[in-house]
Structure 1
């Protein structure tokens, strides 16, 4: 294996600049940057808005999140299937615009039932749009460029959400219902603006049209009959619960079970954001090779297991030791997240039937949606209820799911070599 001299390795900013020289990726990235600013505003304010101004209880809010996540599991696959049958460009434009309208209408949710309906529309359309966007990437790029595109877009997503979260701080400072409503309506408008920009995508991102003069390409069996891909989807969804752990489990653990100050919750978030922005693109290189993708996911699983151990050790440590352990755990957690995502993206593209790009990417998105839906329950049943034992259980779960993905990748690379 050849190595690149250190002085020739491009900086993250240069890497992004080179990647964004592609017109299609530039359109997707600029649209995502705009929409995720709105998403950052939305994520920061929604739960507080329901609690403070609508008067919903914590249980009602949890039900809203779980039910809407369940809808997202179904719409992930539906979005991918539709992207194989209709114009993926127009479909994505329409979904993002509908999502913007739904976010703006959150301000009219005055009771539990209305909030559930709006949340289901918002999350459902969001998951469908994600699957459609993945299908577009699968068609617009090839080989390593697909994973690179996903890495660039994820970097842009983190920047946008962080920016939106800071903007939402203005509403938090004001603390009034009108400030919350005005900011959430603005988030919806931002989504609609990003949808208009997506209209510039080229026609080549659409599924091939059926030509009566030529026989249609053989589409093969449903992705649900592809056992290898189904298993990859399930295992990736299980490992994806680490997002729920970061969003819910780690903040609760820091505030309730360690001697560290609550301010460390923000520090952990900053560590994660910086790592993703700086490292997601360079660490995603080469994952179009299934064997390398599998090794990267396995490395991520090992780092995640060590991170769980450090989180657990912080529970009984003095303040300074707890802060050091938690920051170390957050750093390893961030690397595990970056590597697992990079490897899973590569496998999700390389092991899919390219003729059914939408259906396969839609099913892979179902795994992520299912992991997001189950994560709060799993985190509660492990870390929240059982402390260090719960962390140990999660470490085993993450390590086992990573090992399963690595095994799939190794067998896939062996099969390809033999062929």
Structure 2
């Protein structure tokens, strides 16, 4: 028997927590994780009590509460693009700090809302500014990490977000258990204060996450004086090049955004479709909704980071998105099968569907992050991330209508239609990824042969 040298390095793979801890050596990720860990606790508190606060404490009808949330989401669509657009022109770290802090202050003012109009105005402003700040964060990630580290950073941040929201939901349970207006208002103010504290670590971000300054060097004559005419021409060319790099001119990226928005409606399935399906069409108790949420959070925390590995490669990103499409289509069918079954059978089927759905969510997010970063023009990173985020906001806005018009209205057939929609959008994203990878290969081959080959236009 051959003995092993104890001093020799072992091939033991570090644990997930060890890998995350090691990645926090990066000052950018460390600041973002610290900010996310604190601020999302406040968001978890708020998400857990919002609707009940509207209806039970302020006295809004279900329809009025829906209008408040819908209008807030609609303004979030504009804010997603605006945040990225601003981050290409001013300091992304200062924008993120200022707008997220303002959003948190407005969140705390919910405690003083007592009418439909007040709730509508506060919800719109709070969501608008918080979304601008979140969009600016995406620009920070795009610039603050190497290409092979961006998706890992997003995965770490999503894991931290889920943990913090779960913790915040536990705090909110105190208000839900007491049920008094004072308890609700206290936790809402507390959520706002926590959100403000969560913005402070953003002040430690380095200047490297900001967009490079857009300046044109003056053109000088042979005598050293500034050639005003040629300098003006150079500035005009720079402005034209800046506009040419706009994401609104990039048809491939716009199609990716549209298809990703369609697949992103799977969040609407989780937030609206599944609870309604359980309560209206199955014999499963309502507590299963909470069990599915806990299951989802647990699986995301355990698997999001490792599932995101390698998705900075566009081929891998396309492949995992296609797998997510099949899983989501299967989840739709399994959810549908829970209707009409005995209670315990329905519970088992619903939990199985939730597992499929969660892994579809995990993989689709990993693929979306990779493609949204790699197919974007790095010069306009903020605008590109803003457009991509805007697509998700549109998907979130459309999801309740689509889910209700398919699965909830038509049952099994509606679920099948929904599954086909998800599968089709995933196939479209995979096609874009394969075309992009082939274009990159041709471009790389062209550079290797003296630059004779041309990349495929966007």
| Aligned-partner SS, 1:207 | coil
Aligned to 2:424: 400
CA distance in 1, matches of 2:319, 2:100: 35
1:60 to 2:64 alignment:
yes
CA distance in 1, matches of 2:11, 2:357: 28
1:319 to 2:319 alignment:
no
Q: Which range is displaced more, 251-260 or 72-81? A: 251-260
- Among 61, 85, 89, the alignment partner of 2:89 is 85
Aligned to 1:26: 30
| Aligned-partner SS, 1:118 | helix
Offset at residue 8 of structure 1 (A): 3.5
CA distance in 2, matches of 1:171, 1:391: 36
- Among 184, 193, 201, the alignment partner of 1:189 is 193
- Among 260, 266, 270, the alignment partner of 1:236 is 260
Q: 1:10-159 residue pairs with structure 2 within 5 A?
A: 10-159=14-163
Offset at residue 9 of structure 1 (A): 3.6
Q: Which range is displaced more, 173-182 or 218-227? A: 218-227
User: Are 2:100 and 2:134, in contact at CA under 8 Å, matched by a contact in 1?
Assistant: no
Q: 1:259-338 residue pairs with structure 2 within 5 A?
A: 259-338=283-362
Offset at residue 213 of structure 1 (A): 2.9
CA distance in 1, matches of 2:12, 2:349: 34
Offset at residue 15 of structure 1 (A): 2.3
Aligned to 2:369: 345
CA distance in 1, matches of 2:277, 2:187: 30
User: Are 2:136 and 2:382, in contact at CA under 8 Å, matched by a contact in 1?
Assistant: yes
User: Are 1:54 and 1:110, in contact at CA under 8 Å, matched by a contact in 2?
Assistant: yes
What does the per-residue CA deviation read over 1:358-403, in whole Å, with 9 as the maximum and x for residues that have no partner?
0000000001101111111111111221111111111011000100
Q: Which range is displaced more, 82-91 or 12-21? A: 12-21
Q: Which range is displaced more, 171-180 or 13-22? A: 13-22
Q: 1:192-271 residue pairs with structure 2 within 5 A?
A: 192-213=196-217, 218-219=241-242, 220-271=244-295
What does the per-residue CA deviation read over 1:158-189, in whole Å, with 9 as the maximum and x for residues that have no partner?
00100000010111111100110011001001
What does the per-residue CA deviation read over 1:184-234, in whole Å, with 9 as the maximum and x for residues that have no partner?
001001111111221111111011113443777643332111110001111
Offset at residue 10 of structure 1 (A): 3.1
CA distance in 2, matches of 1:382, 1:28: 39
CA distance in 2, matches of 1:10, 1:246: 33
CA distance in 1, matches of 2:55, 2:347: 31
Offset at residue 255 of structure 1 (A): 1.7
What does the per-residue CA deviation read over 1:53-73, in whole Å, with 9 as the maximum and x for residues that have no partner?
111111111111111111000
User: Are 2:99 and 2:133, in contact at CA under 8 Å, matched by a contact in 1?
Assistant: yes
Offset at residue 12 of structure 1 (A): 2.1
- Among 416, 434, 441, the alignment partner of 1:417 is 441
CA distance in 2, matches of 1:312, 1:356: 43
What does the per-residue CA deviation read over 1:236-295, in whole Å, with 9 as the maximum and x for residues that have no partner?
011111111101111111122111122211111111001100100000011111111000
Offset at residue 322 of structure 1 (A): 1.2
Of structures 1 and 2, the one scoring higher in RCO (CA 8 A, sep 6+) is: 1
CA distance in 1, matches of 2:417, 2:126: 33
CA distance in 1, matches of 2:64, 2:331: 32
User: Are 2:245 and 2:377, in contact at CA under 8 Å, matched by a contact in 1?
Assistant: no
User: Are 1:19 and 1:152, in contact at CA under 8 Å, matched by a contact in 2?
Assistant: no
> Please, which runs of 5 or more residues in structure 2 have no aligned partner?
1-9, 219-233, 444-458
| Aligned-partner SS, 1:281 | helix
User: Are 1:382 and 1:390, in contact at CA under 8 Å, matched by a contact in 2?
Assistant: yes
- Larger Cα Rg: Structure 1 or Structure 2? 2
User: Are 1:127 and 1:369, in contact at CA under 8 Å, matched by a contact in 2?
Assistant: no
CA distance in 2, matches of 1:62, 1:171: 22
Q: 1:365-380 residue pairs with structure 2 within 5 A?
A: 365-380=389-404
CA distance in 2, matches of 1:15, 1:272: 22
User: Are 1:130 and 1:365, in contact at CA under 8 Å, matched by a contact in 2?
Assistant: no
CA distance in 2, matches of 1:394, 1:330: 15
CA distance in 2, matches of 1:8, 1:371: 42
| Aligned-partner SS, 2:413 | helix
Question: Between Structure 1 and Structure 2, how many residues are aligned?
Answer: 414
TM-score, with structure 1 as normaliser: 0.96
